[in-house]
Every structure is written in structure tokens, then in C-alpha cells.
Structure 1
Amino acid sequence: MGQLSDNTRGALLMMASMASFAFGDTCVKATGGALPISQLLVLRGLLSTAFIAVLAWRLGALRWDFGGRDWALIALRSVSEAAAAYFFITALLHMPLANVTALLQVLPLAVTLASAVLFAEPVGWRRWLAIALGFGGMLLIVKPGADGFNAYTIYALISVVCVTIRDLSTRRMSRTVPSLMVTLAASATVLGFAGIWSLWQDWVPLTPTLTWLLLGSTVFIVGGYSFAVMVMRVGDVSFVAPFRYTGLLWAMVLGLVVFGDFPGPTTLLGAAIVVASGVYTLLRERTLRRQAVANARRT
């Protein structure tokens, strides 16, 4: 068997990252809300932040020589990450795993839409159509007006907004800012936010089951971050990006096996529309970037 190409390795790493995050979310959901969210975030954050700090140090990414604009964007991204963690975990504890994960798949479409509206980035009619279809698919998932729509569905949608702000902030940063430094700042902010919040909440003694679930969540989130960093260093990111949607497949399988939940036909249809629209948008952006590079070379 020949050596794997960079793009193939990148795709495998992206799938490993998405699988890790799906397993981590499964561990969190399996706690059943027995732990206060602040306690969960503090205990998980202590381990994950320490690991990310060591990884950043070993890779020479611990740098502080950024301009005020980049620091402001790092701060905005970190606050968005903390808000997203709260809203996402709250929704995750009260909704089927696959449904929450399916809603997050609208993220690439939301980022493209926000970039066009806020920063006047050009978006052709094809991507506008894909965005419209994708958000139509999202409505099939949340089913507004139906019994499945509740406050926790709104929490999931707010987490999508927070992650969109997070990713937009990342896009506007200088290329000189190391990705691991950005991740470390976000992880430390979530830890600080949870630590302050936990002062007003009673901590719960850890049972052996909760301890293992918490450790599992930490290991998987660290693995997810590690694989995500490797993805950035291997292959063409525009090629491997669509493989992020494999996380939805893991969420469906784990939701069925661990919790006995499986999305209904309407949710499956909505998820399929969201994924198809997102993949098309990513591939279209990849094509446009290649055309721009080719035109620049000709001139």
C-alpha cells in the first residue's frame, strides 16, 4: 500500500477530530446534568488548558507580540467561545445528541452569510441559494411551532450564533497569530468564566461514574483539538474541510447506541439539506480561491 497523500492524511485527521468531539459530547451528555455546568467546565478546563499550554510551548506558539487589533479579536473570540460552551452544553443536556450536532452543521453557511452582510465579502447567486436551502434545512431540524421546539432549541441556535462570531473573529486575525495561541486564550477564558460562575454554585461530589465520564470528556476534547491542529499542518484545508460533517454521522450512531435516540425523518431530511448546502459552499469557495490565485499569477 502506497504512502498516503497529504490530503488523505488531512481528511483522516479531520474525521478523527470530529469523532473525538462527538465522543466528548457523548460523555458530557451521559452525565445527565448530575454535575453543575460550571463545575464540569472548571474540571475539564483545568486539564485541557494545561495540555494546550504545554502543546503551544513545545511547538513554539506561545507568543505575545501582537498588535492591539489582534488582541481585541482574540478577546472577542474567547468571550464567544465561553458563551458558546454554556449554551451548547445546556442544549446538549436536554436535546438528542444528533439534533444538537445537526444544528451546528449550519455553521459554514452562517459564517459565509455573516461575512457577506458584515464585511461585504462577495457571494454569488449559487452560494446565496445554498445558504437559503441550508437555513431551510435548519428549520426542518428545529421544527418551529412543533412540540420538539423549546427553550433548549433556542439555546442551541444561540450557540451557533456564538460560534459564528468566534469563527468570524478568527478570520479577521493576522496570519502571524498562531492557531494554538488563539485556542489557548479561548480555553483559559472558558476556564476563568466557569471558575467565577462556580463560586455561586454548590459543587457535587464526584462518583466513580462521573469521574470517568469527566475524564473521558477531557481526553476526547484534547484529542479533538490536537487532531484539529494537525489538520492545519497537513494537506489542503479547503479539501479536508467538508470532512467535518462526519461528526454528524458519529453523533447519530452514538445517540442511538448510548441514548436510544435517532432523528426522525424530518430531522434527517433537514440535516441532509444542511450538509449538502454546506459542502457545496465549501467546495465553491475552494474553486473561487483557486481562480483568484490563477488570475493573480496571470497578471
Structure 2
Amino acid sequence: MPAELSAIGATLPRSNLRAALIVLCAFAVFSGTDALVKLLAQSFPVPQVTFMVTVAALVGIVGSAGLSGRVGTLWPRHPRLAFLRAGLLAGDTILIYYAFAVLPLAEAYVLAFLSPVLVAVLAFGFLHERLSRAGWLGVLLGFAGVIVALRPGVVPMNLGHAAAIGSALLFAFSLVLLRRTQVTESDTALVASLLVVLSVLSLVIVLAGSGFEAVGLMDFATIAAAGLLLFAGHALLVRAFRIGDASVIAPFQYSQIVWGCLYGALLFGAPVEIHTLAGAAIIIVSGWLVLK
């Protein structure tokens, strides 16, 4: 998820057009990772999938840093804040991966799109930031969009919906945390700290449960592909926020609804539900109002 990078100090020349193109590629890559995670989750428990994919991504970033002679950039300059942020985002990732496993991709994305709305509410409550009338309208519209998309009382809710909302809430807390402190970290440190914490957390969950299930040769290929896509997506995302303005780039997250519908239809035979698209449209408008 992107907006938490808005507090990162930029050191590169600004170019919103380049950043927009890069971030569109990043979200296309992330959606590919999400689709592969959903495929793997049909054969393995979600914590094991998370651990395997994260370790594959971690191998990728460490290998890349080693080949380029930049191993020292993997360690953050502000480790306490970096790893606290990474812990929030690791929990966010585990929850959203579970949501991907049990919900259609497009439906999980719709709930994840609540992050800007939740940030506005949390910033008002914890940081005493004032919201404009348009901002409050955006907050109300965001929750209305969820009602339209999920149709409570018509379609039964499950733990996947709760996980997706919990994921958006953890991500929103990570945003509020970074609004209090400006972070100037290398691209690799920002990605590596997240991957380290996520791999440790998912491993603990696996060992606390039923342990690891056997992995076949073809599964390893899927895991490697998902890990490389996860690494590439994070690298593209950080770079986009280095060279572009967050207020311009962050709304491009909503492009994932297109990929969610596409992958859902092609790989999982999920129909494109009109109420899901309507709810997504309302939440997108709400996020735009909040970000104004």
C-alpha cells in the first residue's frame, strides 16, 4: 500500500508524470503477486504462503544489494521507527493475504481502499487534525461505499471481510505514525525492514499452528515468481514516491480494482459484480475528497 510513503523525504528530482507511470506498473505487479498468493492459498495455509513468498522476496532484495555492492543500505537509519512501521505493515499484509484467500480479489480490494478514509478519522482523533466539510463528506461516503459493495443482510459476512477491514486499519495506523516523524531511509532499507518483520511474524504463526506442509516443485516456481513480483512491486512503489507528489500518486492505488476484476475473472472464474464496482466507485470518490 502506497500512502504511508508520503512522509519519506525525497532526494530525487520531482516528476509526477514519471512517478504516475511507475506507480501504475507497481500496482499491476502487486496485483500479480496477490493473484499468485490466492492460487497458493488453495493448497497451503495463508501464514505458510506469506512466509514462503516473503522469504523469496527477501532473497531477491539481499541478492540485488549484494550484486550491486550496497549491502549496507539494507539496515535502516532509524531502526526503531522503521521496524515499528514494518510490524504494522506486516500485520496488514498477513490480514489482506487471508482476505485474498477467502474473498474475490475485487471485493478484498474494495475494503482495502478504505485506508485514506480511516487515516482521516484516526488523524482527527489522535493528531487533532481538522477535516474540511469535503473531507467529512468523503468519510461518510467511504462507509456508504462499503455498505453498497458488501450489501450486509443480503450477502453473509465472513472472516475475510473482517481481515480486509483490519488490514486497512493497520495500514491507516502506519500512516498516522509516519505523519508524526519524517523518515529519510534508503529504498532498500524501507523494503528490507518490512520483509524481515513479515517473514519472522509469519514463521511464528506457522510454527504455532500445524507447521509446514510439503511443497512441490511447481509450487516452488510459483513461490519464486510471487516473491520476485513482491520485491519488484515494493521497489517500484518506493521509487515512485521518491520522485512524485504523494497527493498525486496515492489515488492510483484504485487502479487495482481493474486488475482485481481481471485476475478474478481469468484465474478464478469470479464474476464482475455490479454492486462491487458501484461500491468501489463511491469509495474512490470518498478517497479523493479526503485527499483534497
Decide: shared fold, TM above 0.5. yes
Q: Quick one: which of 17, 21, 35 aligns to 2:26?
A: 17
Q: Which amino acid aligns with 1:101?
A: Y
Q: Deviations over 1:130-157 (max 9, x none)?
A: 1111111012222222324222211211
CA distance in 2, matches of 1:141, 1:17: 25
State TM-score, norm by structure 1. Answer: 0.83
Query: Is residue 251 of structure 1 aligned with residue 263 of structure 2?
Result: no
Q: How many residues align?
A: 275
Q: Which residue of 1 aligns with 2:70?
A: 58
Task: Tell me the SS of whatever aligns to 1:93.
Answer: helix
State TM-score, norm by structure 2. Answer: 0.85
Residue identity over aligned pairs, in percent, reads: 24
CA distance in 2, matches of 1:173, 1:61: 20
Query: Is residue 273 of structure 1 aligned with residue 282 of structure 2?
Result: yes
Q: Quick one: which of 221, 224, 227 aligns to 2:233?
A: 224
Q: Which residue of 1 aligns with 2:196?
A: 188
CA distance in 1, matches of 2:246, 2:263: 27
Q: Which amino acid aligns with 2:258?
A: L
Contact 1:143–1:149 (CA under 8 A) maintained in structure 2: no
Flag the 1:160–1:271 CA change in 2: closer, same or farther, 3 A.
Answer: same
CA distance in 1, matches of 2:71, 2:181: 20
Q: Deviations over 1:206-248 (max 9, x none)?
A: 2244223212211211111011121022233322222221111
Farther-moved stretch of structure 1 (178-187 vs 100-109): 178-187
Query: Is the radius of gyration larger for structure 1 or structure 2?
Result: 1
Query: Per-residue deviation at 1:85?
Result: 2.3
Query: Per-residue deviation at 1:127?
Result: 0.7
Query: Per-residue deviation at 1:13?
Result: 0.6
Farther-moved stretch of structure 1 (164-173 vs 150-159): 164-173
Q: Deviations over 1:31-78 (max 9, x none)?
A: 243112232222222222243456677396445553xxx71x434322
Q: Which amino acid aligns with 1:80?
A: L
Q: Quick one: which of 105, 108, 115 aligns to 2:123?
A: 115
CA distance in 2, matches of 1:8, 1:87: 32
Unmatched runs of 5 consecutive residues or more in structure 1: 285-299
Q: Which amino acid aligns with 2:269?
A: G
Q: Which residue of 2 aligns with 1:236?
A: 245
CA distance in 1, matches of 2:105, 2:153: 21
Task: Tell me the SS of whatever aligns to 2:102.
Answer: coil
Counterparts of residues 1-299 of structure 1 (less than 5 Å): 6-53=15-62, 58=70, 61-62=73-74, 65-66=77-78, 71=80, 73-178=81-186, 180-200=188-208, 201-282=210-291, 284=292
Q: Which residue of 1 aligns with 2:10?
A: none
Flag the 1:208–1:62 CA change in 2: closer, same or farther, 3 A.
Answer: closer
Flag the 1:110–1:59 CA change in 2: closer, same or farther, 3 A.
Answer: farther
CA distance in 2, matches of 1:37, 1:127: 36
Task: Tell me the SS of whatever aligns to 2:214.
Answer: coil
CA distance in 2, matches of 1:136, 1:54: 45
Contact 1:98–1:262 (CA under 8 A) maintained in structure 2: no
